[in-house]
């Protein structure tokens, strides 16, 4: 993997570093990248501005929800002077100089993972510290500033720390305004397929959604399909998960017959299923523009449900629990237990039964609203049932518009990325921030 390196001989050492701390692919796409772009515009950071005295670095932290490909994906953006992969986090914490020179002053910005990792890093480097808190700010005492998604974060803080907190809004609220500036999709009724980004989710999601697409195409011959390829996976990985090396694929009737190159009529590569269904691959993430134009999305759980909600895209969230692989993709301690060697089958079965009884809401729009805004289908679900439900939604534009309106009402106003960038700038020495 090629990673941006520290200052070369042609430029002066950085006098200040802004260090992003993050974890998984969802946070990178929806929090890290937009804020990095905003700071590059307002501060002229390295590596884009070669002579800048401010460097932008990314530190990835250990996380069970990460894929291991995050550093490689982020390096392709050309945003960061240096990227530290999660596997080197502890080594770097013990001896920061192993990750190259550090500026004498800096700001650590928490953008995903366990908030304690950024507390440790800022203390180790002697940098100032700001946390973007989505639901709760866990370590206000060790933060110079807190940037809250909503007022609930501020209200949970002890009174003595509230002066440190500013409500900046939902970073994902800016996604839709950026998406509208992108080129329109070709004409047609577009359905997005989001099988996930982690191997455990892809093992289930790819064969399940290929089968569903075939069945929906048979019901609605004019339907067109878009599959945004996550930055931490590839078309070759999709083919592998749809093939014989994935034992779960044998439970489904569909597969991938071939991969077609782009044409003048179609700017993207296409997967052609064994039933002849065309699935267009969007391989230049983020796919917010094309996604925002889809009539409906069929998606796994995870950060993608938050992205779709921010874009106002109606969705059906699917969790087929007949496959233990989906258990191993769960977040938090449930997923960790399901991955224990030797015990995983027993624990997975018990967790599956418990989760089906007590799962609560799984999709981010539902969690945020505290009610069922989007349908969640959890259990031994089958592609035919999801295809039939998708057909019903697509046949009722007023229902789709109702879900779209509900999602937009949850999104909040744009401007959170610029507001967070201003909070970061407020922690910089005035001479460098101006």
Number of domains in the chain: 2
Which residue did the predictor score with more confidence, 135 or 160? 160
Provide mean pLDDT across the span 245-254: 93
Based on the domain organization, do 35 and 122 belong to the same domain? yes
Based on the domain organization, do 55 and 88 belong to the same domain? yes
pLDDT band at 51 (very low <50, low <70, confident <90, very high): confident
Judge whether 395 lies within some domain. Answer: yes
Based on the domain organization, do 301 and 429 belong to the same domain? no
Based on the domain organization, do 253 and 396 belong to the same domain? yes
Based on the domain organization, do 160 and 294 belong to the same domain? no
Based on the domain organization, do 200 and 158 belong to the same domain? no
Residue 405 pLDDT: 93
Judge whether 5 lies within some domain. Answer: no
Based on the domain organization, do 420 and 396 belong to the same domain? no
pLDDT at 12 over 90: no
Order the strands of the 145-148 sheet from edge to edge. 82-84, 54-60, 16-22, 105-110, 128-133, 145-148, 165-167
* Mode of pairing for the β-strands spanning 315-320 and 296-299: parallel
Judge whether 68 lies within some domain. Answer: yes
**Mean pLDDT for all residues in the chain:** 87
Euclidean distance between CA atoms 348 and 354, whole angstroms = 10
Looking up residue 248, the CATH number of its domain turns out to be 3.40.50.2000
In this predicted structure, which of 155-159, 194-198, 420-424 has the lowest mean pLDDT? 194-198
Provide mean pLDDT across the span 14-33: 91
Q: What residues make up the domain containing 106?
A: 16-169+415-433
pLDDT at 346 over 70: no
Provide mean pLDDT across the span 333-343: 53
Based on the domain organization, do 148 and 247 belong to the same domain? no
Residue 4 pLDDT: 47
Give tens-digit pLDDT for 358-410: 557 888 899 888 899 999 998 889 999 999 999 999 999 999 999 999 998 88
Judge whether 175 lies within some domain. Answer: no
Euclidean distance between CA atoms 328 and 325, whole angstroms = 5
- Per the structure block, which two tokens stand in for 292? 């925002």
Based on the domain organization, do 398 and 422 belong to the same domain? no
Based on the domain organization, do 319 and 214 belong to the same domain? yes
Which of 295, 289, 315, 294 shows the shortest CA–CA distance to 304? Answer: 315
Provide mean pLDDT across the span 147-176: 92
Judge whether 226 lies within some domain. Answer: yes
Based on the domain organization, do 322 and 368 belong to the same domain? yes
Judge whether 6 lies within some domain. Answer: no
Q: What pTM value is reported for the model?
A: 0.77
Give tens-digit pLDDT for 93-125: 999 999 999 999 999 999 999 999 999 999 999
Total Cβ atoms within 10 A of residue 418? 16
Give the residues across from 190 on adjacent strands.
224
pLDDT at 187 over 80: yes
CA terminus-to-terminus distance, the chain: 35
Residue 380 pLDDT: 86
In the chain, the percentage of residues whose pLDDT exceeds 90 is 63
Provide mean pLDDT across the span 8-22: 81
Q: Is residue 152 a contact partner of residue 141, using CB atoms and an 8 Å limit?
A: no
Based on the domain organization, do 108 and 190 belong to the same domain? no
Residue 323 pLDDT: 76
């Amino acid at each position: 993997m090629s990673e941006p390196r520290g200052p070369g001989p042609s430029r002066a050492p950085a006098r200040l570093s802004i260090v992003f701390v993050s974890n998984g692919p969802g946070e990178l796409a929806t929090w890290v990248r937009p804020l990095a772009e905003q700071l590059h515009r307002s501060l002229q950071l390295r590596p884009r501005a070669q002579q800048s005295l401010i460097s932008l670095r990314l530190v990835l932290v250990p996380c069970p929800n990460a894929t291991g490909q995050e550093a490689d994906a982020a390096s392709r953006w050309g945003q960061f002077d240096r990227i530290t992969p999660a596997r080197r986090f502890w080594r770097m914490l013990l001896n920061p100089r192993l990750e190259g020179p550090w500026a004498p002053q800096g700001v650590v910005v928490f953008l995903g993972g366990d908030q304690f990792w950024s507390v440790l890093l800022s203390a180790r480097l002697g940098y100032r510290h700001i946390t973007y808190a989505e639901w709760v700010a866990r370590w206000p005492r060790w933060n110079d500033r807190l940037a809250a998604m909503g007022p609930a974060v501020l209200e949970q803080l002890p009174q003595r720390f509230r002066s440190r907190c500013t409500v900046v809004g939902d970073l994902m609220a800016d996604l839709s305004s950026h998406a509208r500036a992108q080129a329109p999709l070709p004409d047609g009724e577009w359905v997005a397929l989001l099988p996930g980004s982690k191997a455990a989710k892809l093992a289930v999601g790819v064969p399940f959604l290929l089968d569903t697409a075939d069945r929906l195409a048979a019901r609605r011959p004019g339907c067109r399909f878009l599959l945004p390829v996550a930055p931490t996976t590839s078309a070759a990985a999709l083919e592998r998960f749809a093939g014989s090396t994935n034992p779960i694929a044998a439970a489904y009737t569909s597969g991938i017959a071939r991969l077609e190159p782009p044409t003048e009529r179609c700017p993207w590569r296409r997967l052609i299923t064994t039933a002849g269904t065309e699935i267009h691959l969007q391989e230049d993430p983020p796919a917010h523009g094309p996604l925002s134009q889809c009539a409906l999305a069929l998606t796994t759980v995870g950060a993608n449900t938050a992205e779709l909600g921010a874009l106002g895209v109606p969705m059906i969230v699917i969790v087929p629990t007949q496959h233990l692989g989906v258990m191993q993709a769960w977040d938090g301690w449930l997923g960790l237990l399901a991955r224990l060697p030797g015990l995983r089958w027993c624990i997975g079965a018990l967790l599956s039964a418990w989760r089906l009884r007590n799962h609560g809401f799984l999709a981010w729009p539902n969690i945020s609203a505290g009610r069922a805004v989007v349908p969640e289908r959890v259990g031994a679900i089958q592609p035919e049932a999801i295809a039939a439900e998708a057909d019903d939604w697509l046949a009722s534009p007023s229902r789709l518009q109702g879900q779209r309106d509900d999602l937009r009402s949850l999104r909040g106003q744009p401007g959170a990325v610029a507001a967070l960038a201003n909070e970061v700038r407020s922690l910089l020495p005035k001479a460098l921030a101006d």
